[in-house]
């Protein structure tokens, strides 16, 4: 697959050949669903908790004798049937995280990249650039040359703390490194900007 390479000013420079096994393969919707579900589950804190009848503070004595009062029999005031009593089958702290096969995750990433690469307007390869000053306005001046309707995802060839620092205050902007992509951010990104160096590394990393 051949894609145009744009300068950071938004002008066409040249074309680049992208790995077909990564950017032009059949889309596996099932693997995308599993990868996104796994990422969201792994992010859950799982600390929701309510008090059951064991946790509620109170006496364990019978509120009145079993017979002869004319009222319904009752065992203790911590019963879930009483106001202030425990909660039946309420949430308890738990670990929601789980693992999926690496092949499924890799297939999902390649499927999302292929899905995004099929749209020339939302997927663009940009020449390598950085923001040496680390200032938001310098990065914003570059991003305004590309479509910015909705969430924008920039795929980097390597960790760049200065460009991440510059984009920290820009709304709906995400940075991903080529070897640590997140299916959720990638799939829901409206605009994908792949640095030229990252595009080559993606072909090598996921194409093997």
Sign of CA dihedral 41, 45, 51, 54: positive
Tell me: pLDDT of 208 over 70.
Answer: no
Going along the chain from its start, the domains and CATH numbers come out as 2-28+99-207 (3.40.1370.10), 45-95 (no CATH)
| Strand blocks (E) in the chain | 2-6, 12-17, 123-126, 152-156, 173-177, 191-195
Q: Which residues contact 55 (CB under 8 A, 6 or more apart)?
A: 86
Kindly give the residue spans of alpha helices, DSSP state H, lying in 85-159.
Answer: 102-117, 136-143
Report whether pLDDT(115) > 80. yes
Percentage of the chain beyond pLDDT 90 is 84
Question: Is the pLDDT score of 157 beyond 70?
Answer: yes
Q: What is the pTM of this model?
A: 0.84
Residues 170-205: b if buried by 16+ CB within 10 A, e if exposed: eeebbbbebeebbbbbbbebebbbbbbebbbbbbeb
Backbone angles phi, psi at 177, to 5 degrees: -95, 145
Q: Left if phi > 0, otherwise alpha if psi is -120 to 50, otherwise beta: which for 101?
A: beta
Question: What is the rounded CA–CA span in Å between residue 8 and residue 82?
Answer: 66
CA distance 104 to 20: 18
Q: What pLDDT is attached to residue 45?
A: 95
Q: What is the structure's pLDDT at 150?
A: 87
What is the per-residue pLDDT for 122? 87
Residue-wise pLDDT for 9-23, tens only, equals 989 989 999 999 999
Per residue in 58-103, pLDDT (tens digit) is 888 999 999 999 999 999 999 999 999 999 999 999 999 999 999 9
Instruction: Fill in the DSSP letter of residue 125.
Output: E
């Amino acid at each position: 697959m051949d894609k145009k390479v744009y300068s950071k000013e938004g002008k066409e420079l040249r074309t680049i050949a992208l790995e077909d096994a990564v950017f032009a393969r059949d889309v596996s919707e099932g693997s995308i669903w599993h990868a996104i579900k796994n990422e969201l589950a792994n992010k859950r804190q799982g600390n929701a908790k309510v008090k059951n009848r064991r946790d509620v503070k109170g006496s364990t004595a019978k509120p009145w004798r079993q017979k002869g009062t004319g009222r319904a029999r009752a065992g203790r005031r911590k019963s879930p049937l009483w106001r202030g009593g425990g909660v039946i089958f309420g949430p308890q702290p738990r670990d929601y995280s789980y693992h999926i096969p690496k092949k499924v995750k890799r297939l999902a990433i390649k499927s999302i990249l292929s899905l995004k690469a099929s749209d020339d307007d939302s997927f663009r390869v940009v020449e390598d650039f950085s923001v040496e000053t680390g200032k938001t306005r310098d990065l914003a001046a570059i991003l305004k040359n590309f479509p910015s309707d909705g969430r924008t995802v920039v795929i980097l060839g390597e960790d760049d703390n200065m460009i991440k620092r510059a984009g920290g205050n820009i709304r709906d902007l995400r940075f991903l490194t080529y070897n640590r992509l997140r299916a959720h951010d990638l799939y829901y990104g409206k605009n994908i900007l792949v640095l030229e160096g990252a595009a080559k590394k993606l072909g090598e990393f996921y194409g093997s």
